[in-house]
Amino acid sequence: MRNKIYLSIILLTPPIVLLLSWLYFTQIFDPDGSYDGKTRQNGVFFNSYFNFNQFKNSQGNGDILEFEDGKWVLSVYVTNADKSSDSIYLMRQLNVALNRDINKLKRVIFYSNKMLEGDLDKIKADYPRVEIVEDKNGVLLNVLERNSKLNFNDENPIFVIDPYGRAVMYFDPNTDPKLILKDLKVLI
């Protein structure tokens, strides 16, 4: 009888520890109630995986963006200069707020409308460390819209690309900048 009790204790200990850990994590340790059973990211993952190496530059002979420097890319697709101005400004503020990780990130603006080039020159003057890349024929814009819940034509949200050229997530324009910064610090 004594051996059966010891055996029961030994066999039940791991499941009990796991159950108590899960309860502690979801009920006690999570004071803000933000645990959704999945992850804690504040951005939205793209619907399906896509790689930026499939997009070619405006001459058609190279990749739209180089990923040899090992930096994460914080980017905005500009379809309307006025609507995207807040996202571009926020992108710079997030980059500055990263402090010591500032060199692990680069900022890129994509566009496909040639009529925006005058506005983009002004943006380049205001934000000199931003790389501006033309998306010939709007292929990237179509892929972004297909893989997200937002309309990238209207919203102009910030999205993140990893150092290997994979699109990771995008942020709803109404997301608190502190939450975006929190996600970036985890990613980088």
Task: Return d(Cα 27, Cα 19) in angstroms, integer.
Answer: 12
Task: Return d(Cα 149, Cα 113) in angstroms, integer.
Answer: 22
What are 172-182's pLDDT values in tens digits?
Answer: 888 888 888 88
Does 160 lie in the same domain as 97?
yes
CA distances from 153 to 30, 137, 159 (A): 37, 14, 14
Angle, CA of 79, 65 and 97, to the nearest 5°: 75
Please compute the mean of the pLDDT values over residues 122-149 and round it to a whole number: 88
Q: Tell me the residue range of the domain where 79 lies.
A: 44-187
pLDDT of residue 14: 92
Which residues fall within 8 angstroms of residue 119, CB to CB, at 6 or more apart? Answer: 78, 81
Does 107 lie in the same domain as 83?
yes
Grade residue 12 by pLDDT with cuts at 50, 70 and 90: very high
Q: Residue 56 pairs with which residues in a beta bridge?
A: 63
The domain spanning residue 101 has which CATH number? 3.40.30.10
Residue 99 DSSP one-character state = G
Does 2 lie in the same domain as 54?
no
Does 164 lie in the same domain as 77?
yes
Does 86 lie in the same domain as 6?
no
Does 97 lie in the same domain as 52?
yes
Does 151 lie in the same domain as 73?
yes
Task: Return d(Cα 36, Cα 25) in angstroms, integer.
Answer: 12
Task: Return d(Cα 127, Cα 75) in angstroms, integer.
Answer: 13
Does 168 lie in the same domain as 86?
yes
Grade residue 38 by pLDDT with cuts at 50, 70 and 90: very low
Please compute the mean of the pLDDT values over residues 137-142 and round it to a whole number: 86
Checking if the pLDDT of 41 tops 80, the result is no
Q: Which residue has the higher pLDDT, 76 or 57?
A: 76
Which helix (H) or strand (E) element contains residue 113? none
Task: Return d(Cα 7, Cα 188) in angstroms, integer.
Answer: 46
Please compute the mean of the pLDDT values over residues 3-10 and round it to a whole number: 89
Q: How many domains are there within the chain? A: 2
Does 94 lie in the same domain as 56?
yes
Residue 26 DSSP one-character state = I
Does 106 lie in the same domain as 62?
yes
Task: Return d(Cα 51, Cα 57) in angstroms, integer.
Answer: 14
Does 130 lie in the same domain as 50?
yes
